[in-house]
Structure 1
Amino acid sequence: MTMNKYLNYWGLIFTIVILIPNIVFAITCKDGFENRYKNKLVGFLEQIARFGCFVNMFLIIPFMSKGYWFKQGETIYLVLGVILVILYCLGWIIFWKEDSIRKSLYLSIIPTLLFIESGITSGNILLLIFAVIFAPCHILISYMNAILI
């Protein structure tokens, strides 16, 4: 079983794996990432929701988690999660040297889908709430930074 009462080990693995390309980017691109989109509210909500998603991918708060909604929920959670994590890592490889709207959208939509899918299939209500806040904020920030080059 992938979950005990408080920890989702697969969610922890998914989180670590999607953070790896971001860490590699931060190490190899000394200039870092310049956020050109200056909407403070959207930025604040995105950051809170991002960390909420990361933590709730592996931390289970019992009264906020209903467990898998259907019989094969865990299998669907794992299969879709692995596919989305692989797609995210492949996106980093494919778009590594590119600065484009498609790169920004791809690398913001895939983790958003992972968080939403994980929240729905695992019945993690708090993760789903954070993911629904994260999705529009993260995608908007990524898109706006791509067009404000």
Structure 2
Amino acid sequence: METCIIKSPLGFTKINGDVTGISSIVVLNSQEKPNDIIPEVLQDCVIQLNEYFQGTRKQFSLKLNPEGTDFQKRIWKLLEQIPYGKTLSYLELSKQLGDIKAIRAVANANGKNPLWIVIPCHRVIGSDGSLTGYAGGLHRKQWLLNHESPFKQQTLF
């Protein structure tokens, strides 16, 4: 398993993966030293994340290999279908799964997503439009949603 740390607008980010795919991307809550040399197997992931943060990439095309239960992987596949700049509620996600009673399990699987940004769990919000639970912190979720919003805040002066 190869690992690297990069700096992003939201903090230091750790990427793990190998030839079978990217297994995790997590934002760290501590300062780390970014890698000077990125392992070859992780280079495309780093490039695509940088493009995302620069606003030039809206969809990822990476080989993914996250670890999780079959149920979690089903939810993560649904998350990948949420378009850039759009949001979906936990209830709507449960309906897509075909079981509205599974809303808590859906929310739990969403929270266990090991592939920050690439599997866009930040695009899931409360039914009332509120920002709810996000492993990376609500300030990061808000930043990501603002970053993807087609309606950019303009300066008044």
* Structure-2-length-normalised TM-score: 0.30
Greater percentage in helix: 1
* Structure-1-length-normalised TM-score: 0.31
Greater percentage in strand: 2
Higher relative contact order (CA 8 A, sep 6+): 1
